[in-house]
């Protein structure tokens, strides 16, 4: 349920003290934290290394170069209300050189609705000073200062980025224009109730090095014409994926060698497999081969200053369904500043008088405008709603705008991704009551001097009481889970009679700390759910929260049973895999509970809301399955580093996990193991027994020297002998039946390697493989290279001669069509040899692959094994960082996206709690902060089906009570008759799970017996499983005919037994 399903248990410790401050004002404070990273890393600064253990998931989003730029940047964030602290949190987690938080104001009640680092005892204290030590704990690499003085021009020159929140228009104009003149990146962010605003100015000349954050594409070439322009055709294995305007370069082209290593060429796409390039008419004739690779080109962007852009704004659209809102809100925010300046306060919540005045001010602002900013007609209803909720302060809105603003800080520093140009407005008015013209009163929304004042200002007290009574199940306490819990605590969810139940079976790892912000270095190895629950209790002591460590699935249905689900108001998923998401989706459909579903991938994020009887469910639509690599490509014909890395992962499993597992199963119960093994298809029985015999007899090491010898011989086999055999079968100049070269297109001709103790990579492989092999047998390993070289000098490597008659499959189709024969005599021989082996002393330990521990040899082996195979096939190698991403199937992640996505989830939660009934009130959202791009749509309605004149959706079912009035349970005969009489449906097939209970083609004798048996008895008899005491009802699936004998699709049956 964390961002990584694999668990790494490693503590952080240390003594290094961070010193030096760029802020010497008497108004500033700092907490010094002592910390030495586990790898002895340097502090942030020019020569800083990057702690890959901490930043690994973020590095896959930003890259090392961008991270280095961040480590040289000082950031000022002004305004420590909810939005300011959210931005600061995300920027600090990101890993800049330093952060200074600024505020001249004191904490008040309304701040507590969104400022998660303020507590009730902090009321009356300076917000920056209180927040600073709590923010400083987020990342020991980032010094955090608090500054409480005025923002002078001299002070601002210390920073590369200045962010203003909770500021006046006069401050924004003066400081914005000053920053523009000095080349300081400038951001304004603001939230007012259900409205958000973001402005960016990154100077006259900003260079964006990567405009979209996507990995550069590459494709294999089948033809290039000599023409003006030349046309490139790619192999039709997969579409090239390029777009017109992209730049590409070429390698490995035979014939038209002028293209190899050429400067990037702009292309024009002609079709899914073709595109045109430059004039190739004067080049040499194309012969064959070649790889075309996309090149990321930098782009220079010019920003206007704040005052210029205020008068002539450019807008980023956040919701295409509200096309006119940005222009209207641009004026509304300016009118709000005028109102504040005039009255020294915000409009009162839901005050009609103040709303009318703000509308008049907005009209005045509009009348003074010239050019594109002036609107023909003000949307009076929108402006008044803006006034009504503007004193509100909501944590979901702060999270959404704060996540984006922090990403813009990173863009300004790094040039990574396309910035917001230059204004972004967002509103979530759908969160308000659905009824046309529904308004709250000033009394309902007036401040109560309580921590929810900022939220009551928008939704009133009744909504606050509803929130307090909610009972929610949160599945997962990783990155999304932490953000959700923070939002739950701040909005007062389950702060009264309700309860939040959070479950996660994972422990905290170092790599989690970069975005799972409720955890600290001292929490590493503790349970996520317990730690997260305790952390949000600190934020709001009123939240009633219970933490579990259970995996959700059929095995925990005794815990999460009918009573549990029926008591819930809703479920929020914070999961990292599709199977668990689909399981929870099925449970929510069955129990008819709302589900909040969300996910992130780097800078991309999505939110889906599932509402009973209204929307489709999460499982209603699925992404296509990931394309798997063909077996023959992996075994013999790799052409990309992904292929060699997958091969290395398969090697790891096939050497250090499966053989010890099989051997231990054999040792525990030889008879059962043999029975199971001989039933395996094809040649598998012999292969498995051969591997067990090798593990226990022929390849069983007695010493470290034996392990080194095994590793050296395995190296020889994989990187020399097998390649020589392949080249014996298919020589480098081999041609196919059509006369084309065999080694062409996706087939790269390999060459064998020659082992050398002077070759670092060869030695890396032997040391990693020998240590892993030693671990499986409980032997002591070693990393002493000199000693290993000494051992290697004594190792005997048998001579190898390629053999004729060895079958190597060229395609997966050929492999499937082959029917490997089982050598029964060899099988019997192996069984006999194993039976006579003395095995009582053995205890083998299978090794589970763990990518995040740099001391366990796992990634050492993967990197060496993959890069050696890449060298065999002349494929460019991958460094450890890239290898870990691919082999470890790591999901790139960054705190900014998580915060923004969970902000949107919070908006949907408001609607669910209020009981919104219209599908158009809800919003599914998708965002990509790198572009930046946002898309919102109403959820898809649950598809309707029909039998007779009855419409039904996935939310409907037949309710059947199993116990009859006479106190006896319904038999199968009575069940069939019930559907015939009550619903005019003839059941032709009836199943429960994978068990077939009845079918029209069942043998007559079997059917006769079964018809008189009660339903639950049939279920236990057929499934061979007892029904647990927690099971209140069973689910039956039906196939039915109507009264015209036609097949009809019908809902499932909920058969109640208790």
Collapsed DSSP state (helix, strand, coil) of residue 577:
coil
Q: Per-residue pLDDT averaged across 422-438, rounded?
A: 92
Biggest CA pair distance of the chain: 99
Looking at residue 683, its pLDDT comes to 79
**Cα gap 12→518, rounded to integer Å:** 16
Looking at residue 27, its pLDDT comes to 54
What does the buried/exposed string (b/e) look like for 816-829 if buried means 16 or more CB atoms within 10 Å of the residue's CB? eeeeeeeeeeebee
Question: Helix (H) and strand (E) counts for the chain?
Answer: 34, 34
* Alpha-carbon distances, residue 479 vs 3, 891, 895 (angstroms): 7, 12, 8
What's 250-289 look like in SS3?
A: EECCECCHHHECCCCEECEECCCCEEECCCCCCCCCCCEC
Q: Per-residue pLDDT averaged across 142-148, rounded?
A: 98
**Cα gap 718→722, rounded to integer Å:** 6
CA dihedral in degrees (507, 508, 509, 512; nearest 10)? 130
**Cα gap 305→293, rounded to integer Å:** 38
**Cα gap 286→976, rounded to integer Å:** 72
Looking at residue 460, its pLDDT comes to 97
Concerning whether 632 is annotated as a catalytic residue, the answer is yes
CA-CA-CA-CA torsion sign (728, 729, 730, 733): positive
Collapsed DSSP state (helix, strand, coil) of residue 34:
strand
Q: Is residue 402 predicted with pLDDT exceeding 70?
A: yes
Q: Per-residue pLDDT averaged across 845-872, rounded?
A: 96
- 8 A C-beta contact, residue 507 and residue 523: no
Strands 933-937 and 995-999: unpaired
pLDDT band of residue 839 (cuts 50, 70, 90) is low
Q: Per-residue pLDDT averaged across 172-176, rounded?
A: 98
The DSSP bridge partners found for residue 1026 are none
Instruction: At 249, list the tokens.
Output: 């370069």
Q: Per-residue pLDDT averaged across 1005-1012, rounded?
A: 92
Q: Is residue 137 predicted with pLDDT exceeding 70?
A: yes
Q: Is residue 23 predicted with pLDDT exceeding 70?
A: no
Q: Is residue 11 predicted with pLDDT exceeding 90?
A: no
Which one is catalytic: 632, 700, 845, 1039?
632
882-910 pLDDT, tens digit per residue, is 999 999 999 999 999 999 999 999 999 99
Looking at residue 717, its pLDDT comes to 97
Q: Per-residue pLDDT averaged across 698-705, rounded?
A: 94
Sheet holding 144-147, edge to edge: 28-30, 144-147, 98-102, 74-78, 161-165, 185-192, 195-201, 423-427, 315-316
Looking at residue 28, its pLDDT comes to 53
Collapsed DSSP state (helix, strand, coil) of residue 79:
coil
102-136 pLDDT, tens digit per residue, is 999 999 999 999 999 999 999 999 999 999 999 99
Nearest CA to 658 among 605, 615, 694?
694
- 8 A C-beta contact, residue 426 and residue 401: yes
199-229 pLDDT, tens digit per residue, is 999 999 999 999 999 999 999 999 999 999 9
The DSSP bridge partners found for residue 213 are none
Looking at residue 29, its pLDDT comes to 53
551-599 pLDDT, tens digit per residue, is 999 999 999 999 999 999 999 999 999 999 999 999 999 999 999 999 9
Q: Per-residue pLDDT averaged across 282-306, rounded?
A: 96
Looking at residue 684, its pLDDT comes to 84
Pure H helices in 422-510: 442-445, 453-469, 479-491
Instruction: At 453, list the tokens.
Output: 């004042």
Nearest CA to 595 among 575, 612, 579, 614?
612
Nearest CA to 489 among 529, 427, 433, 532?
532
Q: Per-residue pLDDT averaged across 322-334, rounded?
A: 97
**Cα gap 926→623, rounded to integer Å:** 15
- Other C-beta atoms closer than 10 Å to the C-beta of 582 total 15
Q: Per-residue pLDDT averaged across 408-412, rounded?
A: 98
- 8 A C-beta contact, residue 1019 and residue 995: yes
- 8 A C-beta contact, residue 1022 and residue 1006: no
- 8 A C-beta contact, residue 508 and residue 6: no
Looking at residue 473, its pLDDT comes to 98
Looking at residue 621, its pLDDT comes to 86
Looking at residue 438, its pLDDT comes to 81
Looking at residue 14, its pLDDT comes to 32
Q: Per-residue pLDDT averaged across 690-711, rounded?
A: 93
Q: Per-residue pLDDT averaged across 180-205, rounded?
A: 98
The DSSP bridge partners found for residue 221 are 234
Does 229 sit behind a cis peptide bond, omega within 30 degrees of 0 on the bond before it?
Answer: yes
Instruction: At 810, list the tokens.
Output: 């060229």
The DSSP bridge partners found for residue 232 are 224, 275
Within 13 Å of residue 718, how many CA atoms lie on the same side as its CB?
A: 25
**Cα gap 896→198, rounded to integer Å:** 15
pLDDT band of residue 48 (cuts 50, 70, 90) is low
Mean pLDDT estimate for the chain:
92
**Cα gap 294→265, rounded to integer Å:** 9
702-734 pLDDT, tens digit per residue, is 999 999 999 999 999 999 999 999 999 999 999
pLDDT band of residue 315 (cuts 50, 70, 90) is very high
216-266 pLDDT, tens digit per residue, is 999 999 999 999 999 999 998 788 999 999 999 999 999 999 999 999 999
Q: Is residue 38 predicted with pLDDT exceeding 60?
A: no
* Alpha-carbon distances, residue 995 vs 1018, 1020, 1035, 1055 (angstroms): 10, 10, 11, 15
- 8 A C-beta contact, residue 402 and residue 88: no
- Other C-beta atoms closer than 10 Å to the C-beta of 346 total 19
Q: Per-residue pLDDT averaged across 918-934, rounded?
A: 97
Cβ neighbours for 854, distance < 8 A, ≥ 6 positions apart: 39, 53
Per cent of the chain over pLDDT 70 is: 95
pTM of the model: 0.92
**Cα gap 123→875, rounded to integer Å:** 62
Pure H helices in 75-140: 82-94, 127-136
Burial of 520 (0-12, 13-18, 19+ CB in 10 A): middle
Instruction: At 910, list the tokens.
Output: 């408001």
pLDDT band of residue 19 (cuts 50, 70, 90) is very low
């Amino acid at each position: 349920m964390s961002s990584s399903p694999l668990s790494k248990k490693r503590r952080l410790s240390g003594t290094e003290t961070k010193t030096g401050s760029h802020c010497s004002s008497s108004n500033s404070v700092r907490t010094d934290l002592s910390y030495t990273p586990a790898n002895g890393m340097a502090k942030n600064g020019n020569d800083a290394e990057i702690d890959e253990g901490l930043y690994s998931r973020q590095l896959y989003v930003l890259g090392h170069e961008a991270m280095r730029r961040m480590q040289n940047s000082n950031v000022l964030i002004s305004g420590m209300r909810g939005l300011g602290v959210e931005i600061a949190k995300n920027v600090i987690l990101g890993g800049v050189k330093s952060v200074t938080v600024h505020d001249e104001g004191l904490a008040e009640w309304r701040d507590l609705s969104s400022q998660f680092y303020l507590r009730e005892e902090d009321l009356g204290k300076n917000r920056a000073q209180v927040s600073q030590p709590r923010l400083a704990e987020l990342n020991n690499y980032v010094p955090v200062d608090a500054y409480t003085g005025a923002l002078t021009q001299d002070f601002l020159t210390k920073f590369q980025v200045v962010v203003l929140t909770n500021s006046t228009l006069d401050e924004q104009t003066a400081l914005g224009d000053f920053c523009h003149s000095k080349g300081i990146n400038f951001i304004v962010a603001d939230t007012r109730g259900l409205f958000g605003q973001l402005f960016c100015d990154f100077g006259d000349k900003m260079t964006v090095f990567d405009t979209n954050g996507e990995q550069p594409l590459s494709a294999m070439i089948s033809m290039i014409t000599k023409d003006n322009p030349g046309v490139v055709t790619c192999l039709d294995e997969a579409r090239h994926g390029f777009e017109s305007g992209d730049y590409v370069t070429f390698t490995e082209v035979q014939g038209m060698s002028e293209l190899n290593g050429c400067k990037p060429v702009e292309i024009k796409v002609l079709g899914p497999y073709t595109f045109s390039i430059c004039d190739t008419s004067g080049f040499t004739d194309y012969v064959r081969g070649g790889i075309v690779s996309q090149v990321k080109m930098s782009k220079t962007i010019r920003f206007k200053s704040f005052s210029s852009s205020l008068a002539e704004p450019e807008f980023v659209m956040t919701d295409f369904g509200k096309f006119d809102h940005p222009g209207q809100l641009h004026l509304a925010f300016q009118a709000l500043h005028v109102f504040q300046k005039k009255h020294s306060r915000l409009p009162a919540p839901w005050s009609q008088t103040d709303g009318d005045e703000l509308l008049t001010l907005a009209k005045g602002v509009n009348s003074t405008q010239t050019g594109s900013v002036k609107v023909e007609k003000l949307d009076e209803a929108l402006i008044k709603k803006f006034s009504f909720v503007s004193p509100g302060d909501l944590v979901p809105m702060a999270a959404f705008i704060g996540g984006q603003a922090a990403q813009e800080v990173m863009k300004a520093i790094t040039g990574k991704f396309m910035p917001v140009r230059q204004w972004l407005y967002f509103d979530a008015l759908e969160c308000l009551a659905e009824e046309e013209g529904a308004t709250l009163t000033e009394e309902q929304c007036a401040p109560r001097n309580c921590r929810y004042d900022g939220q009551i200002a928008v939704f009133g007290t009744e909504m606050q009481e509803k929130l307090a009574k909610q009972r929610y199940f949160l599945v997962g306490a990783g990155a999304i889970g932490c953000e959700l819990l923070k939002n739950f605590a701040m909005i007062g969810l389950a702060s009264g009679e309700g309860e939040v139940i959070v479950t996660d079976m994972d422990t905290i790892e170092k790599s989690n700390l970069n975005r799972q912000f409720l955890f600290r270095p001292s929490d590493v190895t503790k349970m996520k759910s317990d730690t997260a629950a305790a952390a949000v209790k600190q934020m709001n002591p009123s939240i009633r929260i219970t933490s579990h460590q259970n995996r959700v699935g059929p095995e925990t249905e005794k815990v999460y049973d009918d009573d549990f689900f029926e008591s819930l108001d809703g479920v929020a998923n914070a999961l990292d895999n599709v199977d668990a998401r689909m399981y929870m989706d099925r449970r929510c459909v069955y129990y008819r509970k709302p589900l909040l579903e969300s996910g992130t991938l780097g800078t991309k994020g999505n939110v889906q809301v599932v509402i009973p009887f209204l929307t489709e469910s999460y499982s209603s639509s699925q992404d296509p399955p990931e394309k798997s690599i063909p077996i023959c490509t992996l075994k013999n014909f790799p052409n990309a580093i992904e292929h060699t890395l997958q091969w290395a992962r398969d090697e790891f499993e096939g050497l250090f996990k499966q053989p010890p597992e099989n051997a231990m199963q054999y040792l525990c119960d030889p008879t059962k193991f043999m029975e199971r093994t001989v039933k395996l298809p094809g040649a598998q029985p012999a292969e498995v027994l051969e591997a067990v015999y090798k593990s226990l007899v022929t390849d069983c090491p007695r010493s470290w020297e034996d392990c080194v010898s095994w590793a050296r011989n395995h190296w020889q086999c994989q990187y020399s002998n097998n390649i020589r055999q392949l080249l014996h079968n298919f020589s480098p100049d081999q041609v196919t039946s059509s006369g084309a070269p065999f080694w062409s297109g996706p087939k790269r001709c390999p060459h064998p390697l020659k082992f050398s103790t002077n070759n670092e990579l060869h030695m890396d492989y032997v040391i990693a493989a020998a240590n892993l092999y030693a671990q499986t047998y409980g032997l002591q390993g070693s990393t002493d290279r000199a000693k290993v070289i000494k051992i290697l000098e004594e190792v005997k490597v048998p001579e190898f001669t390629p053999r004729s008659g060895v079958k190597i499959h060229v395609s997966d189709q050929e492999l499937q069509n082959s029917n490997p024969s089982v050598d029964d005599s060899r099988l019997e021989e192996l069984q006999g040899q194993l039976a006579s082996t003395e095995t009582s002393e053995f205890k083998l330990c299978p090794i589970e692959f763990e990518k995040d521990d740099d001391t366990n040899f796992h990634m050492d082996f993967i990197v060496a094994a993959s890069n050696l195979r890449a060298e065999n096939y002349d494929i460019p190698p991958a460094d450890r960082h890239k290898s870990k991403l691919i082999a470890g199937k790591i999901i790139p992640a960054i705190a900014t996206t998580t915060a923004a996505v969970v902000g949107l989830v919070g908006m949907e939660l408001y609607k669910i709690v209020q009981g919104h009934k219209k599908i158009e009130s809800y919003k599914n959202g998708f965002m990509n902060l790198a572009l930046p791009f946002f898309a919102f749509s109403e959820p898809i309605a649950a598809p309707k089906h029909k039998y007779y004149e009855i419409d039904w959706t996935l939310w409907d079912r037949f309710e059947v009570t199993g116990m009859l009035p006479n106190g006896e349970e319904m038999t199968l005969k009575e069940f069939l008759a019930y559907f015939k009489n009550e619903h005019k449906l003839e059941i032709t097939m009836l199943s429960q799970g994978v068990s077939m209970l009845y079918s029209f083609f069942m043998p007559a004798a079997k059917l006769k017996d079964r018809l008189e048996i009660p339903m639950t008895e049939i279920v236990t008899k057929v499934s061979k499983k007892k029904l647990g005491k927690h099971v209140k009802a069973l689910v039956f699936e039906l196939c039915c005919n109507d009264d015209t004998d036609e097949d009809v699709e019908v809902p499932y049956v909920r058969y109640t037994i208790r």
